[in-house]
Chains A and B, each alone.
Chain A
């Protein structure tokens, strides 16, 4: 069991090796699929409790700013695009481009928690705390859990940056693992945005 997962080693493969295989490490796919199941269960429970008292949830939703939600979505989608470009650059052996793309992706990623604070703090000041109603409890917890994922993603992208910057032969599998995780963070946000901001 212990020998099935090889430690991070140099996996600089020729371009032909990239076709017909799954991007990233299998353990990360285990995490992603599991994470989607867990979020899925949370979403189902949200829908259930929303169905129990739809009026309360709709009233809570009135306090959310859809525009900041749209900006958050655009920031994350664009960031994901640049992560994909960085992975593509790394695969093609174009380290400089990969680093440049990753820097833009990280800068956009850092913007996300800042936007969250801009969104949360005035609400908390106005007394819309998690204790206000079940909607706000779900809202802060789910977006908070997503924010934890974003911060973890930024840490992972930091390690990817170091790999691309310092490794003699960057580990492409590791770069892809980071990219795949970042795409999942993106996907989760799309679902959160639809459920909390848009659904009427």
Chain B
């Protein structure tokens, strides 16, 4: 508690650009930028979301897959996808501070990398490719459409791992970096991923990729979770003692390195 008080006093004395947590705050504020672009791409620019029906007729699929804004939307998301790595780094920094095995951190990082590739890059390539050259066979476009939505909504294992690892790390952590209830909330994310597995079987009804059980319930759980988790991560950055920061670790390590090289 006294450390925190000292931190607060120091913080008010130093200008913002000399804040030792500036790196973390920059990473943190890139997240709303990423999600705003994410939302713009998926809703008004391409109308990919809410998901179109897997039972859509071939004419509807072709007109969607060859709309000019779809190509722009795909290009934007492919370009800014790197920001998702920054967003995941925000979680990773907090997992590193927890009193759990480093295995959790490495598993989380590997899972989030696979998740970004399969869950975001693959669909964007599919939708972008469909819009890239006019005159593709409608059957090929229909397959790219299925591929795009299946990889976006039905890519499960990596996310199951991600949420499972994050949830368990928060619950097992004895440093109380993130609140325990958030660990349990994250466990529901794991459960919703299980329900999304049905998109590989059902082509209509509540378990299809645009269905109540496979998509809408998951969205109702996911969206508040995403907001809450970032508020909690922000609080965790804010409450982190400056003596615990990486930069101070690096500074203290630097003289020894110099000695080693001299």
**Interface residue ranges, A against B (CB under 8 Å):** 1-8, 25-28, 30-31, 34-35, 38, 41-42, 45, 49, 130-131, 134, 137, 141, 144-145, 148, 152
B103 at interface (Cβ–Cβ under 8 A)? no
CB contact under 8 A between A145 and B176, given known A2-B235, A30-B181 = no
**Contact pattern, B 133-177, Cβ under 8 Å of A = 1, otherwise 0:** 000000000000000000000000000000000000000011111
Q: Given the known inter-chain contacts A30-B181, A34-B184, A49-B206, please indicate yes or no for A1 contacting B174, CB distance below 8 A.
A: no
A34, B235: Cβ atoms under 8 Å?
no
* A130-B180 contact in complex given A45-B212, A148-B194, C-beta closer than 8 Å: no
Q: Which residues of A contact B177 (CB under 8 A)?
A: 2
A6-B205 Cα distance, complex, nearest whole Å: 45
CA distance A34 to B174 in the complex (A): 23
Give Cα A145 to B160, complex, Å.
13
Minimum CB–CB distance for A64 against chain B, Å: 19
Cβ contact within 8 Å between A45 and B213: yes
Neighbour of A145 across the interface among B99, B194, B206, B221, CB < 8 A: B194
Contact partner of A27 among B179, B191, B202, CB < 8 A?
B179
- Knowing that A2-B177, A7-B174, A134-B207 are A-B contacts, what are 4 other residue pairs whose CB atoms are under 8 Å apart, sorted by A's residue number? A1-B235, A2-B236, A31-B185, A42-B217
Q: Are A38 and B221 interface neighbours, CB within 8 A?
A: yes
Chain B residues engaging chain A, CB cutoff 8 angstroms: 99, 173-181, 183-185, 187-188, 191, 194-195, 198, 201-202, 205-207, 212-213, 217, 221, 232, 235-236, 239
Contact of B191 among A5, A49, A145 (CB under 8 A): A145
B217 neighbours in A (Cβ, 8 Å): 38, 41-42, 45
- Which A residues lie within 8 Å of B232 (CB)? 1
- Nearest opposing residue in chain A for B4, CB measure: A3
Can you give 30 contacting A-B residue pairs, CB < 8 Å? A1-B235, A1-B239, A2-B177, A2-B235, A2-B236, A3-B176, A7-B174, A7-B176, A8-B174, A25-B180, A26-B181, A27-B181, A27-B184, A28-B184, A30-B184, A31-B184, A34-B184, A34-B188, A38-B188, A38-B221, A45-B206, A49-B206, A130-B201, A134-B207, A137-B201, A141-B195, A141-B207, A144-B194, A145-B191, A152-B187
Chain B residues whose C-beta falls within 8 Å of the C-beta of A137 in the assembled complex? 198, 201-202, 207
